[in-house]
Amino acid sequence: MSNVIVLGAQWGDEGKGKVVDLLAERFDIVARYQGGHNAGHTVFIGEKKFVLKLIPSGILRGGVLAVIGNGVVVDLAALIEEMGTLEAAGIDVRRNLRISNRAHVIFPFHRLVEKMSEARENRIPIGTTARGIGPCYEDKIGRRGIRIADLFDSESFRLLYDTLAEDKRTLAATFDLRESIDYAGIRRQTEELAERIRPLVCDTSKLLHDAIAQSKRVLFEGAQGAMLDIDHGTYPFVTSSSATAGGASTGTGVPPTRINGVIGVSKAYITRVGSGPFPTESKDAAGDLLRREGNEYGAVTGRPRRCGWFDIPLLAYTAMVNGFDTIMMTKLDVLDQLDEIPVCVRYRVKGAEVCDMPATWRALEAVEPVYERLPGWKTSTRGISRYDALPAPARNYLTFLEDRTGVEIGGISTGPERTETIIRRGSALERLLG
Ligand code: GDP
Ligand code: IMO
Ligand code: MG
């Protein structure tokens, strides 16, 4: 097996950064396929902590090429800042990073459009990361966006930019937005920033195609999570891109026929940042314990993450739409102190018990989770790296989740460090990585 997708199975922050960093050593290239600097992937290597937002987590492995695919939206200032932070930590970013010439550019006015949209009367705020992600994708789909390649054709860029700026001016006037925006200044700044990344920009689809033709191995890194996907998530409380496995093809230009497997990264419980339905959310002391033990605060915005229990119908649904071959289960150690662990096995809807994911957020908000309670293990699993060294109730918990979701749990993470990981012998995960 060679090329695999790694993506979040819930509402983001499942620990994709740790998992991608861990697995990257077995690949030649790590390619991000959607999202932007709304993502926050925390990776610990020894004493060092890295928070990756736009740059694929694979950059932390010396010999691995990191690719920002065409499906990603790029804020040039944020990208250059992140490059600077990594360079200061001794990482050779300029050698190991490539950026798609077809990726769309986020401009500072996209953030203002988002602020306006979130504050609009009669609209339920999504609780976005306020990074301009949604408005940039709106311009992309609206066929008025500006791509990285456009920045290097100054005549065309000025024409496109002036049209886009005029569009935003009209929008601001319509909504009586009194922010003053220095459009000419933004254009000049964009031209300057573009020159700084110019040597890294190329046709990454061709790059990936050629690498695969030479039997090089590609790991596709998803950001956000399947339930934040624009089509399959809890719309409209989602992000504006295709976080699910299908996005890996459209977001990199690598066809599905060249991708061999899908690894879902799932937390041993669930978190969510921002608004939207969350059937198993625990708003009491147990939720506080998960937040405290799991240090569940947003890596990008610092917001406390909403916490709750593992949800079988949700995972069965994301396994279905992504075709998970296996699951990497993270943060098992966060459950160490619990006497018993509730798991939602079905949803109760108008008296009937079902396992299906409703299409609307209101319907999902109305479901009542049906719980089974599994015994806790009340002992530390932190750092365990062999499956048979896990306490019996912890293995029982994992087996229960496998049986009910129908998906193998091929790997388990027992701490943030690379070494704090179990990869099960004979699993599909081991075969995919082999
Ligand atoms: P991502 O967005 O999916 O990459 O996840 P985040 O980095 O936003 O959040 C996951 C957090 O959990 C990070 O701070 C990781 O260092 C941490 N983490 C990852 N795996 C484990 C684990 O198995 N146990 C514990 N205790 N922390 C973990
Ligand atoms: P990683 O990659 C968790 C959420 C926001 C909001 C919604 C839309 O670290 O898992 P956006 O700014 O994308 O338009 O916000 O999506 N969101 C995330 N939640 N982890 C993320 O990324 C997220 N990226 C966006 O909180 O609810
Ligand atoms: Mg995150």
Tens-digit pLDDT profile for residues 138-185: 999 999 999 999 999 999 999 999 999 999 988 888 777 777 889 999
Is the minimum distance from the CB of 261 to ligand 1 under 6 angstroms?
no
Token readout for 18 is 């740790």
Residue 38 pLDDT = 97
pLDDT digits (tens, 9 = 90+) for 201-258: 999 999 999 999 999 999 999 999 999 999 999 999 999 999 999 999 999 999 999 9
Nearest to 349 by CA among 326, 365, 362, 368: 368
The CATH topology of domain 104-197 is: Adenylosuccinate Synthetase, subunit A; domain 2 (1.10.300)
Residue 123 pLDDT = 80
| Residues in CB range of 251: below 8 A, 6 or more apart | 32, 33, 34, 69, 70, 71, 72, 241, 242
CATH architecture of 266-433: Alpha-Beta Complex (3.90)
CA distance 203 to 8: 27
Is the minimum distance from the CB of 113 to ligand 2 under 6 angstroms?
no
Atom of ligand 1 nearest to the CA of 413: 23
| Angle between helix 108-119 and 154-174 (nearest 10) | 20
Which sequence spans correspond to the domains of the chain? 4-103+200-261, 104-197, 266-433
pLDDT digits (tens, 9 = 90+) for 85-110: 999 999 999 999 999 999 999 999 99
Residue of minimum CA distance from atom 11 in ligand 1: 15
pTM of the model: 0.97
How many CB atoms are closer than 10 A to CB 176?
7
Same fold yes or no, 4-103+200-261 and 266-433:
no
Is the minimum distance from the CB of 134 to ligand 2 under 6 angstroms?
yes
Has residue 1 got a pLDDT over 60?
no
For the chain, what is the mean pLDDT? 96
Which listed ligand is nearest to 57 at the C-alpha? 1
Token readout for 75 is 């804020």
State how far the alpha carbon of 283 is from the alpha carbons of 271, 305, 432, in Å.
12, 11, 38
**CA–centroid distance, residue 163 to ligand 3 (Å):** 35
**CA–centroid distance, residue 352 to ligand 2 (Å):** 32
Residue of minimum CA distance from atom 13 in ligand 1: 42
Class of domain 4-103+200-261: alpha beta
Residue 175 pLDDT = 73
User: 271, 273, 301: which to mutate for ligand 2, most atoms within 8 A of CB?
Assistant: 273
Q: What are the start-end ranges of the E strands in 63-174?
A: 65-68, 73-75, 97-100, 104-106
